[in-house]
Structure 1
Amino acid sequence: MTRRRVPVRSRWRRQVRRFGITALFVVVAGGLWYSQERDQRDRLAWMGVPEWQTLTPTSFHRVLRNDGFLVGWSDVRVNPLWVSYLLHEVDEPRAGQRPDFRQDWRTLWPIAADSYFGSGYDRGHLAPNYAIAVVHGPEAQQQTFQMSNISPQRPDLNRRLWQRLEEVVIDHFVPRFGVVQVITGPVFPERFLDNVTNRVGLVEIPAAFYKIIVVPAETPMALAFIMPQEVRGDEPLDDYLVSIDEVEARTGLDFFPRLPEEVAEALEGSVATEGWALEEVARLPGRFQ
C-alpha cells in the first residue's frame, strides 16, 4: 500500500495560509494593544506624553505605564526623566497604609529598595504617594513605591519644600480647578560627563527637580517650578517659579507636543500666576513640619 504524496505546491499553499492567519492575528492583537495603550496614555497625559527635542543616549527613554501615572524611564541615567499624572477632585480623600518600596522588574538595571541606604539621599517620589492614592486608588498607590518612580533627593528638599509643593497641588489647586495635569522629573547638569560618576549606586543624582502643573481648560493655565537640591526647605514656593520653556531648555524635553503652536507659545513662554492664588499658599508649612 503506498502513501499518497501531497504535492509540494499544496503544502506550500497550506503553510502560506497558516502564516497569513498568524500574521493577521498578530496585526489585530498588536493593533488592539496599541489602541488600548494610546488610550491609557491619553488619559494620563494631556496633549501627549513628553518627547525628546533631540534624540541622544541621555534623552532616550521608555514609557512605563502604571495604574495612575506614566513614567518616562531612562536606562542611561537610571532615573525617570518625567512622570505624568492627572489629579481630580474626589468626595472623600482617603489614602491607605504606606507601602514598602520595591524593585521594578521593567528597568534594565536592578535598583533595590535599599539602594539609597547610607547615601545621604532620600528615596524621593515623583508621582506622589498621597495624591495618587486618594485619586487613583490603592493599587496605584502601591505602584508609586516602585523604584522606577523614585529619584535621589536631599532630605530638606524631599521632606520639606518638595512635600509642600505636592501638598499645595492636591489640597489647594485640585479643589480650586477640579482637574490638574502634573508632569514632574529631575534636572541634570548640561554636560553628561560632568555628572556621570555622581551616583547613588547606579542611579545618577540630579541637580534639581521640576514640576509643571496645568489646568487643562479651553484656555489652559500653567505653573512651572525648578527646585535645586540645596534648599533649606522653608523658602516660599514662588521663589522657584520658571516658564515651561525654561524647563524644556534645562531638560531637553518637549512637553505637551500636541498643543497647537500659538497656544503653546502663550502657555509655555512666560510665568503667569494670575488665577492660582499662589500668594495664599506659597508660605504654608508642610504636613510634616
Structure 2
Amino acid sequence: MSLDLSLSRVLPRPRHFLITLVMVVGGALLWHSTEQGYRDRMSWMGVTEWNEPGVLAFSRVLRNDGYLLGWSDIRVGALWSSYELTAVNERNIGPRPSFQGDWRTLWPISTSSYSGSGYDRGHLAPNYAMASMGGVDAQRDSFLMSNMLPQKPNLNRQLWQRLEEVVMDRFLPRFGQLQVITGPIYAELSVASLLDRVGFVEVPDAFYKIIVVPGDTPRALAFIMPQDVSGDEPLDRFLVSIDEVEARTGLNFLPRLSASAAPAWEASAGVGNWQLSQVANLPGRF
C-alpha cells in the first residue's frame, strides 16, 4: 500500500480554507462588537484607557457581572474597576460569598495568597454595591481574587469602608445614578516595587476613587487615600482632582468627555455641590 503525501491531500482545499477563514474572522468581529457594546453600556463617557503607550500600558479588560476591571499582568493586579450604580427601593443582599480564584489572571493567585502578610483582601468593586445592583451573580463576582488588592486594615476596614458607605447611603439616594471608577496607585516600576509583593501581587502605595453623576451638567469627586492612614480622618482631607489621579496612574478616565469640557472639569477638586462636609466625618457602619 502506497502512502499518498501529495500537497493536494495534505493541504485543505482553497475553497474550504476560505470559508473557514471567513467564519473565524466574522466570529471574531461579532465577538468584538458585542463585547464593546457591553463595555460601552457599563461605562459613562468610555472605558478607561492609557494616556500614553508603554511597557506598563499592556493590560486587559475583564468583564464581570456588575463591573468592568482593567487587569495588568505586569503588576499582577487590577489597574481600575468601573461600575454604575442606580438607586433602588429594595436591596437584596445575600450571605457573604467565599473568595474565589480567577483563571483569567494567568498568575496563580489563590484565596489564601494574602495569609500572614498583614494586608486585607481589599475589594475594588464592593460587595454591598454589587449585591445591591446585580444580585447574587454580581455579588459572587465581586469576590474574585482579581477584584482584590492588598490593603492595610486601617484603610480597608475604616476609611475606605466609610467612603463606600457614603457613596451608597448618601450620594446614590440623592443623585439617583453614579458612575464609580476605583483602583490602585502603584509606585514607579523599580527593583523595590518588583519585590514589594504579596505573593505575586504588587502592593499599591495608595488607592483612588472617582465618583461621577452622569448627565448634561455632570458632577464629580475624586479621592486618593494612602495605605498608612489611621482610619478616622475626615474624607474631605483626601479630595483631589481627576487630573491628579490621571497623573499618578497614567490612565485616562472618561475618554469620551468633550475636549472643550475635559480640561476645566477634570482640573477641579470637586465639581458640583456634593455637601461633602456633612458626611466627611460619619462613622462606619461596622
Q: Which secondary structure state, in structure 2, belongs to the residue aligned with residue 283 of structure 1?
A: coil
| Matching residue of 1:46 | 44
| Matching residue of 1:203 | 201
Return the match for 1:107 from 96, 105, 126: 105
Return the match for 1:256 from 242, 254, 257: 254
| Matching residue of 1:5 | none
Provide the rounded CA distance (Å) in 1 between the counterparts of 2:16 and 2:56.
43
Q: Structure 1 regions of 5+ residues with no counterpart?
A: 1-7
Q: Structure 2 regions of 5+ residues with no counterpart?
A: 1-6
Q: Which secondary structure state, in structure 2, belongs to the residue aligned with residue 63 of structure 1?
A: strand
* Structure 2 letter corresponding to 1:84: S
Q: Give the drift of 1:274.
A: 3.6
Q: Give the drift of 1:174.
A: 1.1
Q: Which secondary structure state, in structure 2, belongs to the residue aligned with residue 35 of structure 1?
A: helix
* Structure 2 letter corresponding to 1:154: K
TM-score w.r.t. the length of structure 1 is: 0.92
Q: Which runs of 4+ in 1 moved over 4 A?
A: none
Q: Which secondary structure state, in structure 1, belongs to the residue aligned with residue 138 of structure 2?
A: helix
Q: Would you say the 8 A contact 2:225–2:238 is kept in 1?
A: yes
Q: Would you say the 8 A contact 2:70–2:81 is kept in 1?
A: yes
Return the match for 1:62 from 49, 60, 70: 60
Q: Give the drift of 1:50.
A: 1.2
TM-score w.r.t. the length of structure 2 is: 0.93
Q: Which secondary structure state, in structure 2, belongs to the residue aligned with residue 261 of structure 1?
A: coil
Structural RMSD (CA): 1.7
Q: Which secondary structure state, in structure 2, belongs to the residue aligned with residue 182 of structure 1?
A: strand
| Matching residue of 2:273 | 275
Provide the rounded CA distance (Å) in 1 between the counterparts of 2:233 and 2:57.
31
Aligned: 1:26 with 2:24: yes
Identity of aligned residues (%): 60
Q: Give the drift of 1:192.
A: 3.2
Provide the rounded CA distance (Å) in 1 between the counterparts of 2:249 and 2:54.
12
Q: Which secondary structure state, in structure 1, belongs to the residue aligned with residue 47 of structure 2?
A: coil
Provide the rounded CA distance (Å) in 1 between the counterparts of 2:76 and 2:193.
13
Provide the rounded CA distance (Å) in 2 between the counterparts of 1:113 and 1:227.
25
Deviates more, 1:239-248 or 1:92-101: 92-101
Written as runs of structure 1 = structure 2, the 5 A alignment for 1:71-220 is 71-220=69-218
Q: Would you say the 8 A contact 1:156–1:231 is kept in 2?
A: yes
Q: Which secondary structure state, in structure 1, belongs to the residue aligned with residue 95 of structure 2?
A: coil
